[in-house]
Amino acid sequence: ITNLNNTVTNLSAARSRIEDADYAVEVSNMTRAQILQQAGTNVLARANQVPQGVLSLLQ
């Protein structure tokens, strides 16, 4: 019975470590996606400013 209890404890600890690792990976992926989205939005905003600047120079 002691051996069985040790096995259950070890399996539970291993599962916890796997779940924690998966959570860390997913948080990292989400953060990366948010940074890429913000960078893309900033690039588009900047690209939209360029024609307006050229237009104001032509007027």
Tens of pLDDT, residue by residue over 18-33, are 887 778 888 999 999 9
Tokens of 50: 């360029």
* pTM assigned to the model: 0.57
Tens of pLDDT, residue by residue over 2-55, are 888 889 999 999 888 888 777 888 899 999 999 999 999 999 998 888 877 777
Give the distance, in angstroms, between the CA of residue 19 and the centroid of all CA atoms in the same chain.
17
> What is the DSSP track for 10-58?
HHHHHHHHHHHHHHHHHHHHHHHHHHHHHHHHHHHHHHHHHHHHHHHHH
Question: DSSP label at 5?
Answer: H
